[in-house]
Amino acid sequence: MTEDSQRNFRSVYYEKVGFRGVEEKKSLEILLKDDCLDIEKLCTFSQRFPLPSMYRALVWKVLLGILPPHHESHAQVMKYRKEQYSDVLHALKVIRFVSEATTQVEVYLRMYQLESGKLPRSPSFPLEPEDEVFLAISKAMEEMVEDSVDCYWIIRCFVNQLNNKYRDSLPQLPKAFEQYLNLEDSRLLTHLKTCSAVSKLPYDLWFKRCFAGCLPESSLQRKNMWEEKGNQDKRVCSDQRHFSKSQP
């Protein structure tokens, strides 16, 4: 039996006995052992297979450009990221925009506002629609990434990517959604059209938030929504849609 046929047999066997993803996990570990991570291969992998939770933050940080591909630089770069996080947080405490009573997701929002030059004059000012989007994404991300520094940087870069790369494509997504639904479940699409419900679906809410706050976090982790967005951005940047098909 050839090596490929053995691997295929093992994959089928593992899946039948409930250990789906064993081979994929091994493949990812091989990719992550390289001294210089192959961004293209990581993109392809995370679009095709679930990301194990133990590697999720690392892969996201690399794909979003928070960490460079070279392993030897990771520790030093994350040191700088942590220092910047601490400096921004300290500044917010000094000007009394955050306190010990401030929720973590609101801290992330104020940090992002300060760094992007959009911090309001007072924390009592009402939130803008874009702030509500940020908070929804932050709440979902907080369920998937434990470390607060990692979580902030991933949220920050993910939101920047949405705003800078995909804002212009939002009007096209309802039509793309209908086309995709027609392929996946044409009976459901026909039913929605018969009920005149297609035009009443909350597209704006769904797509601006990448379904954060609309679907359970577990669904965002398992349905390959957020990683595809990060992957597509990395492909475009190096000439090469929504972050998370992950398994526990």
Band the pLDDT of 11: cuts 50, 70, 90: low
Q: Which two tokens stand for residue 33?
A: 């052992």
User: Of all helices (H) and strands (E), which one includes residue 75?
Assistant: helix 74-94
Q: Judge whether 88 and 110 are in contact, CB under 8 Å.
A: no
Which pLDDT tens digit goes with each residue over 129-185? 999 999 999 999 998 899 999 999 999 999 998 888 877 888 888 899 899 899 989
DSSP 125: S
DSSP 145: -
Q: Judge whether 39 and 238 are in contact, CB under 8 Å.
A: yes
Give the dihedral sign, CA 190/192/195/197.
Answer: negative
For the chain, the average pLDDT equals 82
Q: 107 — phi, psi (to 5°)?
A: -60, -45
Residue 21 contacts by C-beta under 8 Å, 6 or more apart in sequence?
14, 49, 50, 52, 247
User: Cβ–Cβ contacts within 10 Å for residue 5, how many?
Assistant: 9
Min mean pLDDT across 65-69, 134-138, 189-193, 243-247 is at 243-247
- Structural domains in the chain? 12-167 (1.10.8.680), 168-221 (1.10.472.80)
Q: What is the mean pLDDT of residues 48-76?
A: 91
Q: Where are the beta strands (DSSP E) in the chain?
A: 51-52, 246-247
Closest CA relative to residue 131, chosen from 47, 229, 209: 209
